[in-house]
Structure 1
């Protein structure tokens, strides 16, 4: 990992120069290629903490970097950035390793001792999955794949909210005996099939049907394989909730008021205490969530990741107070909890909001969108933006077979490379040349892009921002299209031809790996050429 190598080299140089540990610093691609390939702010941070000239500090660090085999050139620019240019030999060494061991590229064993439980989607079984549920689904699945590439043992879990007020309301919708927020063709179909007459029973039966006949098939169609569906009812049937409530009572956190049972979350910084059991004797969703996460902590996982929609933002803050304030210490759990809260998704076509479907009457379903634009396009669009911002998808772009469609853009780049290798090798095999020469800036640009992939994987493992993979894939495809349009393979000197083939081979391996992580197919042939 190039950033890891650079960090280690700079830390060693800093220690030699100042006999001390450096502050936490950043290495990033240089904003201006005239200065080098990468730059670091280590000297600026040191000057801010300790005083002195950042340029002078940078120059002292650079003196200790002289003679490094990684760098062709190291320089200092004002106000104190250190700029690095990587040697060609180091870049070419990476190319050889990628081609010889393609399955190892980007893969790590750093996570081999880490067991991860990622809970995602977990939509109430009261209707078909929405497009926003799809965002949660594809973000969660991509996170899981990245963690697996990092070496972690990952379990995917869907929490089924199969009890409570929403199930009763679903029952009323099916029985048509009381107004309900659930409506549409699917409710009418359930009404014909369900014979139960009590709202709770009718709602429970409807929830099972929706889960088994709509939600699970849609997830399967989306390429997501949940091995674990955790029933909310089981928390009460197995005594998990009862034991959790007793624990909270022993801690002196539970009290009765206004006929309800409350949890004193204000002790841990909440704005107000929260109800666990209503005056009607019904356990709240918050109560179930506490019990569920209490059970999560007891199952031997080292990292818990929760991916949910914006409706989970408030719950996550309240629940985290209980996790950190009570449960972590009670179970002596030293793991990590992460929350990935996705913002809503909307569709537009010809500049207008897309109308809801007849199936639900209120929204377009995930399955309908997948059928309209294809799975690859749906997956890419739904992970392509930072999850902290709302996402608007233009259906006209998503349906097009032009280069304005980012999925066609990526797949066409991969197919172009595949077509080149079909001309040079019947079985697709390619032997790494003994020497590789660089004759054009785009060749070096491609190699530097490839070099950053393992670091990107590690970055996403940490911050869970999977849109960075989509951004990286687009930049890599742009470099590949530029390579294809500007450089020749046929008619060059043999060493140039073989060098360019090697660069393209490493690029195709990298692009394929990114597409695999995002769940997007990498066709070796395009059914039709994208329009410009």
Structure 2
């Protein structure tokens, strides 16, 4: 029996008590829509527990413990429940019979890849924007974390029935692109990097590629005019424009390849420049002007964001006529909500730690368009990543200078370990990536620990096949040992974990769940036999009763061995499902 099924039984019991007038002043409309059941920390207290009587006691005008006794009297008669006990001020502890507890195995195997998936977000389109690094260099470690977390979050939301649009926003308009072009021109001429420019071997590589591509097209890029104006000052010269025109698509292609190699496939690659070229920025500003939220002051154009809770109004067009960055943000949000294809019910932004001060103006803009901040717009702020090797921070990249890139990380520990380690910690906490640990084959390495549980389950399958152990005649009620119960209970929690991970935007819950399941499975593997194993001569030297017990433990009856093999299959399936939500492979051998 799953916790969801048990919750429904408890809910029906509450309604029955209210309808019968047996629970004081309790009325049916006082009963919460969902009754929470939880796993007791002390397994001697039962399989599941609920505090429903403590929630409803005051409303019913009864002592919670007295109300709990009424629940217990009815629940212990329900099919699948072996025992109900009332503890403390009114906790209800429930123990399932072994057959009921094991029903989840049949459910897992029947639903397969769909086990744990639900439809409670169906009919909603969630636009999830993540990574969105400037096309001025390789993806650094912070962007790599967003790639792992963002794609895992998208998978979890899809498992909850949502339509998810994965979107990458290219900042290909503005000063950062100017600085990129200036850096390339300097590198092409063997000059020092401009003070505000970009450094790293990749700048020299891109500069040379631009030169070579130009030659292939019959263009001598370095021969183009480098200066403009009679005074010889450098401006938007033909040479810089040529470097910009050719280099940005090159960097764009590199980023796309890095994402694909990292198993992240975006549905939309959105270019900031298109907002200006298509007039979307001006259109969005005029929409807000029509609502009375735009005004002119000191030669600049302002958004009256304080009307919607921001700490100060924001400039969107500077006094020199240039657009502020925020102007494009306004147009971009409006586009997400009103585009012709897949308009977003919810626009989720995943931003770096340095964007925390941006939340106020973004939410104000959301409200100005008539949307609900925190509902139609949700902003998630990530924290920093520290890469450690030999106990010391890793700062240098072979290609990108004083940063660690996505390619550096993948080269060091692979895609699986990179994705898993970056997604297993809540995005709003900083994380240390220990390269030595994540490259090791030890139980201290969390991704290895989980993947090894899957490989071990596959090995059990192979050994069972060789020994002639089949799944025929399986009696799941024989899954009655403590180790069986621990695994069964964890399996039953998977669907509720998936729902919670989606609702709370916390894909790291998947990793924590898998590690707990792997731990219980490894203990189960050590305690329970599936494939018969003969006793050694030393084991046969004990007293007859001890030898008989050991014989039974190492040579389970066929129905019990078949049941354990099906339990092994269920664990295997859930690990596959869970790792898939994280974009991590489930190896058959390790």
Aligned match of 1:135 in 125, 131, 145? 145
Instruction: Encode CA deviations 1:177-219: one digit per residue, 9 max, x unaligned.
Output: 742152111122233344475377344543322111x211110
1:19 aligns with 2:27: yes
Aligned match of 2:203 in 187, 196, 199? 187
Tell me the residue number matched to 2:369: 326
- Decide whether aligned partners of structure 1 residues 166 and 390 sit closer, same or farther in structure 2, where only a CA change above 3 A counts: same
1:29 aligns with 2:69: no
Which segment drifts farther, 121-130 or 57-66?
Answer: 57-66
- Decide whether aligned partners of structure 1 residues 498 and 25 sit closer, same or farther in structure 2, where only a CA change above 3 A counts: closer
TM-score scaled by structure 2?
0.83
* Alignment of structure 1 residues 116-515 onto 2, 5 Å: 116-176=126-186, 178-194=194-210, 195=221, 197=226, 198=236, 201=241, 202-203=243-244, 205-212=246-253, 214-299=254-339, 300-328=343-371, 336-425=376-465, 431=471, 433-436=473-476, 437-489=478-530, 490=532, 491-515=555-579
Aligned equivalents of 1:28, 1:52: Cα separation in 2: 23
Contact 2:474–2:561 at 8 Å: present in 1 too?
no
Contact 1:30–1:38 at 8 Å: present in 2 too?
yes
Instruction: Encode CA deviations 1:433-455: one digit per residue, 9 max, x unaligned.
Output: 45221242011111111111111
How many residue pairs align between the two structures? Answer: 521
Contact 1:286–1:315 at 8 Å: present in 2 too?
no
Instruction: Encode CA deviations 1:145-170: one digit per residue, 9 max, x unaligned.
Output: 12222333222111111101221222
Which segment drifts farther, 379-388 or 24-33?
Answer: 24-33
Contact 1:167–1:204 at 8 Å: present in 2 too?
no
Which segment drifts farther, 369-378 or 297-306?
Answer: 297-306
Aligned equivalents of 2:469, 2:116: Cα separation in 1: 21
1:516 aligns with 2:559: no
Which segment drifts farther, 133-142 or 35-44?
Answer: 35-44
SS in 2 for 1:381: helix
Q: Which has the greater radius of gyration?
A: 2
- Runs of 4+ off more than 6 Å: 48-51
Aligned equivalents of 1:22, 1:314: Cα separation in 2: 41
| RMSD between superposed Cα atoms in Å | 2.5
Contact 2:353–2:384 at 8 Å: present in 1 too?
yes
SS in 1 for 2:169: strand
Aligned equivalents of 2:500, 2:405: Cα separation in 1: 32
SS in 1 for 2:369: helix
List runs of 5+ in structure 1 lacking aligned partners.
527-532
- Decide whether aligned partners of structure 1 residues 34 and 335 sit closer, same or farther in structure 2, where only a CA change above 3 A counts: same
Aligned equivalents of 1:187, 1:401: Cα separation in 2: 37
Tell me the residue number matched to 2:102: 92
Tell me the residue number matched to 1:8: 8
Aligned equivalents of 1:505, 1:86: Cα separation in 2: 22
Tell me the residue number matched to 2:65: 55
Aligned equivalents of 1:401, 1:250: Cα separation in 2: 62
SS in 2 for 1:501: helix
Contact 1:173–1:179 at 8 Å: present in 2 too?
no
- Decide whether aligned partners of structure 1 residues 246 and 325 sit closer, same or farther in structure 2, where only a CA change above 3 A counts: closer
Contact 1:348–1:395 at 8 Å: present in 2 too?
yes
Aligned equivalents of 1:429, 1:289: Cα separation in 2: 62
Tell me the residue number matched to 2:213: none
SS in 2 for 1:45: helix
Which segment drifts farther, 308-317 or 384-393?
Answer: 308-317
Aligned equivalents of 1:217, 1:111: Cα separation in 2: 31
TM-score scaled by structure 1?
0.91
SS in 1 for 2:427: coil
Instruction: Encode CA deviations 1:404-453: one digit per residue, 9 max, x unaligned.
Output: 21121111111111111112337x99646452212420111111111111
Aligned equivalents of 1:430, 1:110: Cα separation in 2: 37
Tell me the residue number matched to 2:545: none
Contact 2:127–2:346 at 8 Å: present in 1 too?
yes
Which segment drifts farther, 123-132 or 62-71?
Answer: 62-71
- Decide whether aligned partners of structure 1 residues 2 and 286 sit closer, same or farther in structure 2, where only a CA change above 3 A counts: farther
SS in 1 for 2:126: strand
- Decide whether aligned partners of structure 1 residues 363 and 311 sit closer, same or farther in structure 2, where only a CA change above 3 A counts: same
Shift of 1:38: 2.1
SS in 2 for 1:425: helix
List runs of 5+ in structure 2 lacking aligned partners.
18-22, 187-192, 211-220, 227-235, 533-554
